[in-house]
Amino acid sequence: MRQSLGIIEVIGLTNAVFVMDAMLKTANVGVSSVEITKGMGYVSVKITGDVAAVKAAISAGKMIAVSYGKYVSSVIIARPSEVVNEVFVSCEEKNQKIKEEKLKEEVEKTAKKEEKIVVEEVEIEKVKKEIKEESKVQEEKEEKKEEISKEENKETVEPKKENETEKEELKEGSKEAKKEKKVKSKKKK
């Protein structure tokens, strides 16, 4: 069953929005389209719904537009012919489907972009991990070099220490010898 068609024309877009809001709040109707005509600032609001709902909505919109002095004309078609239905209602449905398809395409593009971003983030994380691993390996190499250099230093220091201990022993031996001499000289006295 075809829905009724109601069209109201007012002067100015803001007035059209105000009228459209009142019509939607008054009755259970749907807006087919809002069309800005060329010249003189006329705006047409097309609604669809049950006959009684369309009549009530157009009546409410007309009262508001007249109160502001912006009413131009209105019409209610209870059962539009197939041609009128195709031109006004079906075309709007086709336009809505086209808009929905475009929206889906945009959503898909956005999803693809998000996937690319996620993939890039994963790659960045991999690179960060590789850099961390490389730095760890580099640190380990440096630690090994330090250990090797410490061991080499120990080897060169240890003989010195041995020489030093020998010298100390000799000094201690000479000290003991001096003490013994003193003790002997004291005994002789």
**Shared domain check, 70 and 28:** yes
Amino acid at 122: V
pLDDT at position 56: 96
**Shared domain check, 118 and 69:** no
Picking from 29, 45, 80, the residue at the C-terminal end of a domain is: 80
Residue 108 lies in a domain: yes
Higher pLDDT among residues 81 and 184, named by residue: 81
Residue 160 lies in a domain: no
The span from the CA of 48 to the CA of 84, in Å, is 13
The span from the CA of 115 to the CA of 119, in Å, is 6
**Shared domain check, 113 and 58:** no
Any idea what the CATH number is for the domain that residue 72 is in? 3.30.70.1710
pLDDT at position 172: 63
**Shared domain check, 58 and 109:** no
Please report which confidence band the pLDDT of residue 90 belongs to, taking 50, 70 and 90 as the band edges.
low
- 4 within 8 A of 54, measured Cβ to Cβ: yes
**Shared domain check, 67 and 14:** yes
**Shared domain check, 108 and 73:** no
Picking from 28, 52, 80, the residue at the C-terminal end of a domain is: 80
107 φ, ψ (degrees, to nearest 5): -65, -45
Residue 93 lies in a domain: no
**Shared domain check, 66 and 15:** yes
Residue 173 lies in a domain: no
Picking from 46, 80, 114, the residue at the C-terminal end of a domain is: 80
Give the range with max mean pLDDT: 48-52, 58-62, 166-170. Answer: 58-62
**Shared domain check, 10 and 69:** yes
Nearest to 76 by CA among 58, 49, 89: 58
Residue 176 lies in a domain: no
> Domain range spanning residue 134?
100-153
pLDDT at position 6: 94
Higher pLDDT among residues 145 and 16, named by residue: 16
Over residues 154-178, mean pLDDT: 61
pLDDT at position 38: 80
pLDDT at position 135: 86
**Shared domain check, 105 and 71:** no
**Shared domain check, 76 and 9:** yes
Residue 127 lies in a domain: yes
Burial of 49 (0-12, 13-18, 19+ CB in 10 A): buried
Residue 163 lies in a domain: no
Percent of the chain with pLDDT over 70: 75
Residue 17 lies in a domain: yes
The total number of structural domains in the chain stands at 2
